[in-house]
A and B are shown apart, each in its own frame.
Chain A
Amino acid sequence: MMMQDNLTAGTRQIGPVVMELRNITLRFGGVVAIKDISFDIRQGEIRAIIGPNGAGKSSMLNVISGFYRPQEGEVIFRGVPRGPMKPFQVARLGIARTFQNIALFEGMTVLDNIMTGRLNRMKAGFLSQALWWGRAEREETENRAAVERIIDFLEIQNIRKTPVGRLPYGLKKRVELARALAAEPQLLLLDEPMAGMNVEEKEDMSRFILDVNDEFGTTICLIEHDMGVVMDLSDRVVVMDYGRKIGDGTPAEVRGNQAVIDAYLGVAHD
């Protein structure tokens, strides 16, 4: 429905597999959150993970981001099996994410919040930073320029200097996306980017996600509840239910999959 012009396959390059998840099983004590799931994410695509509440979607995203370490299975990023990692190591690999419940610095301005997304790229030493001279000054200017391009891209110029705590929910979500983008990620993970938004905000967010993918060629993996949005946005969809994968394919394929219809869309009773 929205901006489908952008999704014409001819202009977008869907490349080779960037991330592969092989037979992932994740347990919390006795609870099995994810059971033997395998799928992959290709370069430049928008990949969605959907499923009913408690299906294990967020856990899956946390596995992808390296925050959870699965008991079984392998996460292969760019052909290399990945061991346990600290969050900053994940960020250095070029993976950025947003959170389901917004995790911004409420007291800081939008600009400063987004600047934190550039932290990985600031190499200047303590003294240089303190004196704001030489490398620190140069870096700040470069990073600010990059941040301003993102501000322009997401159309949040008017709130540049506003403390995040004063913003409405929909805008906070957008700021969080901006911060993730500031890291110039190869792979962007979005945890329910449209939860709690009204129709108009959802349309805006969808447009931004498509534009990010189109303009920067960023690979995007997102979790979403809203079926309509997912079907419009994504190239391929993984469907989870009770920690298992019950479907995987293009939106049309998933829509026609009986297991998915039964589990997620509900069984027809009449």
Chain B
Amino acid sequence: MTQPRTPPGDLRSVPALLARNAVRFGGRPAYREKEYGIWQSWTWAQAADEIRALAMGLMAQGLAPGDHLAIIGRNRPAHYWAMIAAQMCGAIPVPLYQDAVAAEMAYVLDHCGARFVICGDQEQVDKVREVEETTGAEARIIYTDPRGLRSYDAARMASLAEVQQQGRAGAGQLGPRLDAIVAGLDYDSTCVMLYTSGTTGKPKGVVLSNRNIIETAKNTAQFDHLTEAEEIVAYLPMAWVGDFIFSVGQAMWSGFTVNCPEGAQTMMTDMREIGPTYFFAPPRVFEGQLTSVMIRMEDAGRIKRWLFKRGMAVAHRAGPALLDGKPVGMADRLAYAFGKLFVFGPLKNTLGLSRVRVGYTAGEAIGPEIFDFYRSLGINLKQLYGQTEASVFITQQPDGQVRSDTVGVPSPGVEVRIGENGEVYYRSPGTFVEYYKNADSTASTKDSEGWVATGDAGFFEPETGHLRIIDRAKDVGKMADGSMFAPKYVENKLKFYPNILEAVVLGNGRDFCTAMINIDLTAVGNWAERNNIAYGSYQELAGHPQVYDQIRAHVEAVNASVAEDPMLSGCQIHRFLVLHKELDPDDGEMTRTRKVRRAVIGEKFHDLVGALYDGAPSIHTRTEVTYEDGRKGHISATLRIEDVRVFGDAGARKAAAE
């Protein structure tokens, strides 16, 4: 980490960091965005100018200190600028999930009382207007992409470019006002407000101050030696705290470049062109990549397949050890070098991961095979553990101490302790200020000494000092016979199979565990294609007897592995079914960050739960689905329920009962 020339004491707000970067890294790229097939870039000096113009424009439009400004759109430089510009006006930026349907958006917009909304495109403008029809509120709308908006009420909205123009035109008068506000910003000013996705109940607005963001960015940038030379690809939802920390916090602190892809679908190509050096992805993305690599290898010629198999064998043997700096034999070193030249070098390049120096995954447990795959390619993939309330970082893995089953040591500046009930607590400079307009929840989450309950159960490994997370504390329950029920633990094992996209394990307070399973359409669809199995719909494929056979085999294998742990052997799955629809955030079954909402599923599929426990061989069900535009429909299906073999004590008991 290079030392800033300005005394660090002055860098107490994101706009202050921006001003420093404009001077210190003035000619270096700050933002890039692919548009019209070409990467457009802005240096720090240019970005500072754009942001200032936008801030003055917003001020001219009437944005006042203390106002909330919502941002709904994909990752674009202009949207990041809007968040910083808002702070420069003393307002509070609130990024929202762009794929949320209007009804979900209504709550958040109403709760924060947004006076301004930045909309990425017509779709978002339509949603905001739909929301306003019900709430009666009228926010000023500013849009980035003017397409299709020509005939809309021009008095109510303006384009972001127009706002910037207005700001530039009025600079003489607006500039000093803006400077005065910026000069008054400090560590206690609100930097951003992010709504938690909320696995239960309504979303809560987490208020994060400049102290939270800058201290966290500073500590973690030092931890991983991030410099102004890093390249990141900003593709995760802007409403997610991680994107804010990486693309705003750390980028501002370290002065590195944020690259925005052309769109979600071009992400992989764009990533290959940029070659990020610092990369974050949830396990789902890594799983998806690995699945597509495996599918393509299965379709490849024999020589290529052979090369891949041999190369990966060497990589598994030597890759992780080389990465951790452990001793490796001469022969393996040589074989690895060849493999790198012919197999994993090109493969890494295809994945866009050639230059990754530090990679992180978090949010969910990652399968050991997946984790090892990337590590063996020589990608320094690590795990971190965090949450919105902590400005992401609670624990992370230092270089050279990486394992798939732990989440690392406490991040710099973070204190972690384990409560009596096994719950993980932390206290850090990144700990959130409060939940907006929700003092009760703030008080019940954060105690007077600043300790925050994570809601996760875990323990520190005595020998290494690494934290291991078992499950959500509230999800850990007891079965009827008193043995421990940890659904996530089993679900993760199931989800490690490429065929299984999602699994929900039930059994709290019951005699035995059961599971509802979602197939992965990419993997299973490809298998069906190669085996000439015809199917007309997701539903038909999910119910195919051969698919059931495969899933049953996976469940049995998981049971065998769960049985090895005496504490958790009661969590073996006795019966399962394959769901006829994908669990979907639009239907409320998952959060926007794709975490399963157990209560909703238990209620919505109560008939299926009943059938899983009453011994019925099949069940007819009718389920409501929500389409992307918010309309609703129904699908009906008859689902088969199958019994599975269980092992160890549980197996013996089951046999005796029969």
Contact of A214 with B37 in the complex, beta carbons under 8 Å: no
**Contact bitstring A199-236, B, C-beta under 8 A = 1, else 0:** 00000000100010011000000000000000000000
At the interface with chain A, which of B146-154, B186-194, B232-240, B464-472?
Answer: B146-154
Contact of B36 with A5 in the complex, beta carbons under 8 Å: no
Contact of A11 with B151 in the complex, beta carbons under 8 Å: yes
B618 at the interface (CB under 8 A from A): no
Tell me if B's interface is mostly helix, strand, loop or mixed: loop
CA distance A158 to B152 in the complex (A): 29
**Contact bitstring B35-71, A, C-beta under 8 A = 1, else 0:** 1111000000000000000000000000000000000
B243 at the interface (CB under 8 A from A): no
- CB proximity to B under 8 Å, residues A1-17: 3, 5-6, 8, 10-12
**Contact bitstring B10-44, A, C-beta under 8 A = 1, else 0:** 00000000000000000000000001111000000
A-side contacts of B150, CB under 8 Å: 11, 214-215
CA distance A157 to B266 in the complex (A): 7
Contact of B266 with A148 in the complex, beta carbons under 8 Å: no
- CB proximity to B under 8 Å, residues A32-78: none
Contact of A158 with B266 in the complex, beta carbons under 8 Å: yes
Task: State how many angstroms separate the Cβ of B553 from the closest Cβ of chain A.
Answer: 33
- CB proximity to A under 8 Å, residues B358-403: none
B-side contacts of A215, CB under 8 Å: 147-148, 150
CA distance A12 to B148 in the complex (A): 12
Task: State how many angstroms separate the Cβ of B8 from the closest Cβ of chain A.
Answer: 42
**Residue of A6, A10, A153 with most partner-chain B CB within 10 A:** A6
CA distance A144 to B36 in the complex (A): 9
A102 at the interface (CB under 8 A from B): no
Contact of A6 with B148 in the complex, beta carbons under 8 Å: yes
Contact of B263 with A155 in the complex, beta carbons under 8 Å: yes
Task: State how many angstroms separate the Cβ of B409 from the closest Cβ of chain A.
Answer: 40
Task: State how many angstroms separate the Cβ of A209 from the closest Cβ of chain B.
Answer: 12
CA distance A148 to B38 in the complex (A): 9
B-side contacts of A12, CB under 8 Å: 151
B287 at the interface (CB under 8 A from A): no
Contact of B269 with A152 in the complex, beta carbons under 8 Å: no
Closest to B627 in A: A200
**Residue of B37, B265, B269 with most partner-chain A CB within 10 A:** B37
Task: Using C-beta atoms within 8 Å of the partner chain, give the interface range for chain B.
Answer: 10 to 19
Closest to A144 in B: B37
Contact of B148 with A157 in the complex, beta carbons under 8 Å: no
B434 at the interface (CB under 8 A from A): no
Closest to B145 in A: A152
B556 at the interface (CB under 8 A from A): no
Contact of A214 with B151 in the complex, beta carbons under 8 Å: yes
Task: State how many angstroms separate the Cβ of A267 from the closest Cβ of chain B.
Answer: 33
Contact of A157 with B147 in the complex, beta carbons under 8 Å: no
B262 at the interface (CB under 8 A from A): yes
Task: State how many angstroms separate the Cβ of B6 from the closest Cβ of chain A.
Answer: 40
- CB proximity to B under 8 Å, residues A146-167: 148-149, 151-153, 155, 157-158, 160-161
CA distance A144 to B150 in the complex (A): 26
Contact of A5 with B152 in the complex, beta carbons under 8 Å: yes
Contact of A157 with B151 in the complex, beta carbons under 8 Å: no
Given A148-B36, A149-B36, A152-B36, A157-B265 contact (CB < 8 Å): yes
CA distance A157 to B269 in the complex (A): 10
Task: State how many angstroms separate the Cβ of B354 from the closest Cβ of chain A.
Answer: 20
Contact of B151 with A8 in the complex, beta carbons under 8 Å: yes
A85 at the interface (CB under 8 A from B): no
Closest to A2 in B: B629
B-side contacts of A261, CB under 8 Å: none
**Residue of A6, A149, A157, A215 with most partner-chain B CB within 10 A:** A157
Contact of B147 with A153 in the complex, beta carbons under 8 Å: yes
B-side contacts of A211, CB under 8 Å: 147-148
B35 CB contact (under 8 Å) in A3, A11, A152, A207: A152
B-side contacts of A151, CB under 8 Å: 36-37
A145 at the interface (CB under 8 A from B): yes
Contact of B262 with A157 in the complex, beta carbons under 8 Å: yes
Task: State how many angstroms separate the Cβ of B147 from the closest Cβ of chain A.
Answer: 7
B-side contacts of A11, CB under 8 Å: 150-151
Instruction: List 6 other contacts, CB 8 Å, given A8-B151, A158-B263, A211-B147.
Output: A11-B150, A157-B37, A157-B263, A158-B262, A158-B265, A215-B148
Rank and list the top 9 A-B pairs by shortest CB-CB distance, nearest first: A148-B36, A158-B265, A11-B151, A148-B37, A158-B266, A157-B262, A157-B266, A211-B148, A6-B151
Pairs A–B under 8 Å by Cβ, sample size 23: A6-B148, A6-B151, A10-B151, A11-B150, A11-B151, A12-B151, A144-B37, A145-B36, A148-B36, A149-B36, A151-B36, A152-B36, A157-B262, A157-B263, A157-B265, A158-B262, A158-B263, A161-B269, A211-B147, A211-B148, A214-B151, A215-B147, A215-B148
B contact set with A: CB distance below 8 Å: 35-38, 147-148, 150-152, 262-263, 265-266, 269
